[in-house]
Amino acid sequence: MSHEVIILNWVLLATALMAFPYVLDRIAVRGLFGAMANPSLDDKPQHAWADRAKKAHANAIENLVIFAPAVLLVHIAELQNGVTVKACIVYLIARIAHYVVYTLGVPVLRTLTFFAGWGAIMVLLARVGGVI
Residue 104: per-residue pLDDT: 98
| Number of other residues whose CB lies within 10 A of the CB of residue 32 | 10
Give the structural domain span for 20. Answer: 3-37+47-128
Residue 11, domain CATH: 1.20.120.550
Q: Is residue 24 part of a domain?
A: yes
Q: What is the pTM of this model?
A: 0.94
Number of domains in the chain: 1
Q: How far is CA 1 from the centre of its chain?
A: 22
Distance (Å, rounded) from C-alpha 120 to C-alpha 37? Answer: 39
Ordered per-residue pLDDT tens for the chain, 132 residues: 999 999 999 999 999 999 999 999 999 999 999 999 998 888 999 999 999 999 999 999 999 999 999 999 999 999 999 999 999 999 999 999 999 999 999 999 999 999 999 999 999 999 999 999
Using DSSP, state whether 105 is helix, strand or coil.
coil
Q: Is residue 55 part of a domain?
A: yes
Q: Is residue 42 part of a domain?
A: no
Long-range contacts of 93-96 (CB under 8 A, 24+ apart): 94/120, 95/11, 95/14, 95/15, 95/60, 95/63, 96/14
| Burial (CB count within 10 angstroms: exposed 0-12, middle 13-18, buried 19+), residue 85 | middle
